[in-house]
């Protein structure tokens, strides 16, 4: 449940921030006539995301045997990659509000109103469908790894919309930096689990060399137990990993935390 909540809340929050910034800027610049265009962008972005989900599910259902293992493994690795780029991108956004407002202002300055409407529509539409497609891939990767929790995913969407609303239209301040930092660490561990699971599926498909488990902790903590299943879904726990799976997991964590630290250091230098 927690992993589904994390994925949907993080993705929805990014999209809701974009929408909130655009609407706030339109209010501030007295361009309320463009609000309907924003709403059209939201609706069509959601519809396109739903269509993507159905298409992805339909395609995935046609695979069997080794092809199914390859598809699932590739989905997990792509999901881990997208999660990583999302995390690193958000870490580097020090002026996200100014960046989006600048894009809106550029569209509004267009001498032809129709082009202004199209530009703002596409800004919202692309923001929604980008997060929607990423969510589809993440949730399918999560489904292959441990299963999707519908309640957790739905609560994540609701929570993100509420946070975005409060942040932009209320006097109450939310520390987005701390929120993103905590969720980033959890998602990094989640992505590491996807990498290990992806490697496992590719081993099952014989794309990567098969190997005996390096050790077996099933008697101590089975992945079918309550705690084991939670750790499996959240952090990719495998009681009997191969050397390649364990190496992929550890290498990913070392690499991402190194980059994480470098980005943090560069921010300190800039602010100093």
What is the mean pLDDT of each successive set of 10 residues along the chain, which is 272 residues long? 69 76 78 86 90 80 78 84 75 60 72 78 84 77 65 77 69 59 76 87 87 88 78 78 92 88 63 51
Q: SS3 sequence, 71-103?
A: HHHHHHHHHHHHHHHHHHHHHCCCCHHHHHHHH
Q: What is the DSSP letter of 147?
A: -
Q: How far is CA 47 from the centre of its chain?
A: 19
**Cα–Cα distance between 39 and 21 in angstroms, integer?**
13
Instruction: Indicate whether this model's pTM tops 0.75.
Output: no
């Amino acid at each position: 449940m927690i992993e589904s909540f994390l994925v949907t809340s993080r993705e929805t929050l990014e999209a809701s921030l974009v929408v909130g910034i655009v609407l706030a800027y339109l209010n501030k610049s007295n361009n309320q006539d463009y609000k309907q265009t924003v709403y059209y962008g939201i609706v069509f972005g959601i519809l396109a995301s739903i269509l993507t989900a159905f298409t992805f599910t339909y395609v995935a259902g046609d695979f069997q045997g080794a092809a199914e293992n390859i598809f699932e493994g590739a989905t997990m690795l792509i999901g881990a990659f997208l999660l990583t780029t999302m995390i690193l991108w958000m870490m580097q956004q020090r002026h996200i509000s100014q960046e989006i407002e600048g894009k809106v202002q550029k569209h509004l300055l267009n001498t032809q109103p129709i082009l202004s409407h199209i530009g703002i529509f596409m800004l919202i539409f692309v923001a929604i469908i980008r997060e929607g497609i990423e969510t589809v891939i993440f949730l399918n990767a999560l489904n292959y790894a441990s299963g999707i929790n519908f309640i957790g995913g739905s609560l994540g969407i609701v929570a993100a919309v509420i946070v975005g609303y409060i942040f932009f239209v209320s006097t109450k301040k939310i520390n987005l930096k701390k929120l993103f930092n905590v969720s980033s660490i959890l998602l990094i561990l989640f992505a590491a689990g996807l990498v290990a699971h992806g490697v496992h599926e590719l081993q099952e498909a014989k794309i990567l060399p098969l190997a005996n488990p390096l050790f077996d902790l099933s008697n101590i903590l089975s992945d079918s137990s309550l705690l084991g299943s939670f750790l499996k879904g959240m952090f990719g726990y495998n009681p009997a990993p191969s050397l390649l799976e364990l190496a992929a997991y550890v290498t990913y964590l070392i690499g991402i935390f190194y980059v994480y630290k470098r980005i943090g250091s560069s921010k300190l230098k800039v602010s100093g």
